């Protein structure tokens, strides 16, 4: 039965309650309402007592609330974007939805870049497994001195990343390929290599929420039996694409910090690599940085 509401706050209250009743996060109601009213958060909350008279928009809002609650389709896919590092990025079923932890990875790269390289140095950066392009695009926009390349094995993911780069005005070179293989073949090397690869162990996929496991691309989530398969492949390829002085940055899954650190130390022991595990805002090991 279609819910009955005439004011904005009534729509918000209904959606929040309906979502909670179906074990979904009620914040999704606000995201969907902002989208269908075409309002910012401040505009929404200043308009709560206003009448909502657009029946077509109401129907679309109700449909999306049902879809998220009953089918688990992520609200970001329903509205077509996610906010990341203060910008709106297009997302769809071909790319992973950006997580706030990845903002911390970018902050870590920008900070360590200043520590390990001369000021104003023009540096070559590659973002491996770019997905929606959030890492590559954010780095390019935050630091114009970076010459950024983004690569992904999926042509469909690259389409989304290219749309985001164009929309946000970022100059990025996009390459389709498997990890670092295209650059090994071309003899190309980089100062900074950053990646947020799939790192969830296969057995854990079944424990994830329906919103994630049934809708986000598994190729961007599953990292082999123990979650470390992609990092092992990186260790085979990284020595072939790093310059004499380089910064390597990975996002990792909780509990993987020591394993990935040891991989880097073993791979680059002759270069005297400095390896650091960094923790996210929730106190979980979330990033590994290596520099030499």
Does 152 count as an annotated binding residue?
yes
Q: Going residue by residue through the chain, which has 292 residues, state the pLDDT in tens, using 9 for 90 and above.
A: 779 899 999 999 999 999 999 999 999 999 999 999 999 999 999 999 999 999 999 999 999 999 999 999 999 999 999 999 999 999 999 999 999 999 999 999 999 999 999 998 999 999 999 999 999 999 999 999 999 999 999 999 999 999 999 999 999 999 999 999 999 999 999 999 999 999 999 999 999 999 999 999 999 999 999 999 999 999 999 999 999 999 999 999 999 999 999 999 999 999 999 999 999 999 999 999 999 9
Does 130 count as an annotated binding residue?
yes
Q: Could you give the CA distance from residue 145 to residue 112 in angstroms, rounded to a whole number?
A: 14
Does 132 count as an annotated binding residue?
yes
Instruction: Find where tokens 């919103």 sit.
Output: 211
Instruction: Find where tokens 């940085």 sit.
Output: 289
Q: Could you give the CA distance from residue 23 to residue 10 in angstroms, rounded to a whole number?
A: 20
Does 77 count as an annotated binding residue?
no
Q: What is the DSSP string of 9-71?
A: HHHHHHHHHHHHHTT--THHHHHHHHHHHT--HHHHHHSTTSB---HHHHHHHHHHHHIIIII
- Which pTM was predicted? 0.95
Residue 48 contacts residue 15 (beta carbons within 8 Å): no
Q: Could you give the CA distance from residue 163 to residue 91 in angstroms, rounded to a whole number?
A: 10
Angle at 160 between CA 154 and CA 162, to 5 degrees: 100
Q: Which stretches of the chain are assigned E, i.e. beta strand?
A: 81-84, 87-90, 123-128, 146-152, 173-176, 190-195, 242-251, 274-279, 285-291
Does 226 count as an annotated binding residue?
no
Nearest CA-CA partner of 198 in 133, 266, 128, 259: 128
Does 196 count as an annotated binding residue?
yes
Q: In the prediction, which pLDDT does 42 show?
A: 97
From first CA to last CA, the distance across the chain in angstroms is 63
Does 272 count as an annotated binding residue?
no
**Domains of the chain listed by start with CATH number:** 8-79 (1.10.8), 94-291 (3.40.50.150)
Which tokens belong to 123?
Answer: 């540096």
Does 198 count as an annotated binding residue?
yes
């Amino acid at each position: 039965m279609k819910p009955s509401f005439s004011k904005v706050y009534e729509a918000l209250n209904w959606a929040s309650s309906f979502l909670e009743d179906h074990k979904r996060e009620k914040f999704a109601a606000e995201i969907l309402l902002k989208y269908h009213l075409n309002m910012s958060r401040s505009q929404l909350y200043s308009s709560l007592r206003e009448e909502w008279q657009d029946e077509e928009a109401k129907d679309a809002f109700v449909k999306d609330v049902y879809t998220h609650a009953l089918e688990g389709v992520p609200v970001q896919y329903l509205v077509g974007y996610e906010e990341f590092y203060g910008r709106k990025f297009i997302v769809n079923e071909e790319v992973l939805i950006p997580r706030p932890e990845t903002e911390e990875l970018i902050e870590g790269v920008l900070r360590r870049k200043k520590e390990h390289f001369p000021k104003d140095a023009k540096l070559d950066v590659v973002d491996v497994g770019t997905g929606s392009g959030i890492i590559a695009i954010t780095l390019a926009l935050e630091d114009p001195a970076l010459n950024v390349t983004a690569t992904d094995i999926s042509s469909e993911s690259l389409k989304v990343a290219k749309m985001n780069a164009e929309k946000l005005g970022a100059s990025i070179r996009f390459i389709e390929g498997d990890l670092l293989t295209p650059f090994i073949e071309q003899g190309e090397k980089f100062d900074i290599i950053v990646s947020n690869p799939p790192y969830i162990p296969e057995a854990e996929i079944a424990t994830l929420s329906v919103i994630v496991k049934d809708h986000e691309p598994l190729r961007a989530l599953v990292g082999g039996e123990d979650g470390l398969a992609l990092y092992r492949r990186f260790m085979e390829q990284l020595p072939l694409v790093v310059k004499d002085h380089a910064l390597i940055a990975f996002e990792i899954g909780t509990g993987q910090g020591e394993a990935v650190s040891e991989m880097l130390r073993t791979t680059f022991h002759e270069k005297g690599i400095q390896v650091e595990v960094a923790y996210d805002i929730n106190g979980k090991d979330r990033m590994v940085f290596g520099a030499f």
